[in-house]
Amino acid sequence: MPLALYALTAGAFGIGVTEFVIMGLLIDVGKDLGVSITAAGLLISGYALGVVLGAPLLGIATARLPKKPLLLALMVVFTLGNAACALAPDYWTLMAARVVTAFAHATFFGVGSVVATSLVAPDKKATAIAVMFTGLTAATILGVPFGTWLGQHSGWRSTFWAVTLIGIVAVVVIQLLVPKRLQADAVAQDSVSLAILVQPAVLVGLAVTILSWIGVFGAFTYIAPLLTQVAGFSEAAVSPILLVFGGGLLVGNLLGGRLADKRLNATVIASLAALALTLALAAFAMHQQVAAVIFVGLLGTAGFATVAPLQLWVLGKAGEGGQSLVSSFNIAAFNLGNALGAWLSGLVIDRGPGLAAVPLFAAIAPILALLIAAIAIRREQRQALIPVKAAPTRC
């Protein structure tokens, strides 16, 4: 894998820490700002909605720009946004800063996916995407536990200052390692029309992504309360257990990428099935501590095993003219799933059967995603078998 690909990984690491670290600090943020855990959880939804808003606005505005300057500009927005989070005096200011920071998210990963696939051979595209997304897994394995520990001991604001520093480092690394001339710039005539997004195949891909990550974040948003209030762990145990989740992310991400390079459709189906089964069983495992730790790791594996396959699956439906835009929207779809998952789980806690039932309810969405993907793939396979009628020849 070329060094430029690892520069993208560095940017993904910084963004991953920002997105995920708040989950380990929900209790601390809630206490400091005087809001409930559910309200603090909406900071995750707010970030995710910022990603969804940023995808169309920045995706269309930047579709034809050179990729390297665009990646650098997005990382600068991300860095300034995290500094604003660290300085936020109240809950709503923090929410606004999170939304602004999130604007850079979808376009960075969308453009980064296109750049990553252009840097490698055709049979390594899913693996290249997985390597870039390894930044997210590294953020979970290293950044989130350290950020949680730092926030618990030095205040949650110190965590955002640390992420600001990571953003500065990522800008420098991208500047040094990513070449000025990229093969991805040859596709700079990307479609800037939203019409590409209403194509049935693209809509199906986006819907599957949304549903799958409603399941992932429906459970993961409240992982700290699940571990402390259901499984019976102390707050100090949350950070080490998040390391197990991060290890699962790393395994699932790379495994999903490699399998998708060999059999994309089969990997999409298998990863969605594994995610639904893991969430359903986790609802029962959370009542026993050893089983809870095991299923936290399995949730990470199953959740991130879907990322590279789904991203490549949707890219394949975009055609050559709209990959950056569709790729950005699929990243937005992941985050729309995050927002909906956090919100729906909040309803399960406040108005439903309660916190312990969250993983079981979260399993419903990936089951629906599995059904939709299976039907779509079966239909594509049938259409591929239909012979094309030859045009009549003339003498």
Structure token digits, residue 391: 């045009």
Block means of pLDDT (10 residues each) for the chain, length 395 residues?
81 84 81 82 81 76 78 89 90 90 82 79 79 79 81 88 89 84 53 64 88 89 86 82 83 87 89 93 88 90 88 75 72 81 86 86 92 89 64 48
pLDDT of residue 345: 87
The fold of the 3-384 domain, in CATH, is Growth Hormone; Chain: A; (1.20.1250)
Three-state secondary structure call for residue 191: coil
Q: Helices 200-220 and 264-285 sit at what angle, rounded to 10 degrees? A: 30
Nearest to 329 by CA among 310, 305, 347: 310
pLDDT of residue 161: 92
For residues 361 and 369, give the distance between their C-alpha atoms in angstroms, rounded to a whole number. 14
Any idea how long the chain is? 395
- For the chain, the first-to-last Cα distance in angstroms comes to 54
Number of other CB atoms surrounding residue 3 within 10 Å: 12
Nearest to 220 by CA among 108, 329, 344, 332: 344
Cα 231 to Cα 167, 207, 368, distances in angstroms: 35, 33, 28
For residues 98 and 20, give the distance between their C-alpha atoms in angstroms, rounded to a whole number. 12
Look up the pTM and report it. 0.74
Cα 255 to Cα 69, 247, 270, 343, distances in angstroms: 31, 12, 12, 30
Locus of tokens 């209790």: 27
For residues 241 and 272, give the distance between their C-alpha atoms in angstroms, rounded to a whole number. 24
Sorted by where each begins, the domain ranges of the chain are 3-384
DSSP labels, 348-386? HHHHSS-GGGHHHHHTHHHHHHHHHHHHHHHHHHHHHHS
User: How would you label 87-102 residue by residue, b for 16+ Cβ within 10 Å and e otherwise?
Assistant: ebeebeebbbbbbbbb
For residues 123 and 258, give the distance between their C-alpha atoms in angstroms, rounded to a whole number. 10
Nearest to 205 by CA among 369, 379, 383, 380: 369
Cα 214 to Cα 127, 224, 255, distances in angstroms: 24, 18, 21
